[in-house]
Amino acid sequence: MSSDDVRVCARCGLNDGSSPGLCAFHPALLPDPGPLLFGPAWQACSSAAHSHEQPPCFTRTAHTYLPAELEGCPAPRTQLPPRASQ
């Protein structure tokens, strides 16, 4: 991947030029968590009530890029059940 890569990861907002081999994010804060939804990482992040102000709690070794025709389109919003009172 070239250093002038303008693509942006759908999960962490970076790319292979700015963060090669490391994608760090909060699964529960993604607008569309896809296969992570309700998985162990998503559950842990959600129950800990993480925010964007905290360091990311989950990492992957590769970024997730949207297909070129979807770049710039708003991400779909996954409908989540209301958070239980604590």
pLDDT of residue 41: 96
Q: What is the pTM of this model?
A: 0.73
58: β partners: 25
Main-chain dihedrals φ then ψ at residue 60, nearest 5 degrees: -130, 160
Per-residue pLDDT of the chain (86 residues; tens, 9 = 90+): 445 668 899 999 999 999 999 999 999 999 989 899 999 999 999 999 999 999 999 999 999 998 865 555 555 555 555 665 55
CA dist 32 and 11 (Å) reads 9
Residue carrying structure tokens 């997730």 = 64
CA dist 66 and 9 (Å) reads 8
pLDDT of residue 1: 46
Look up residue 29 and give its DSSP letter. G
pLDDT of residue 35: 92
Encoded tokens for 31: 């607008």
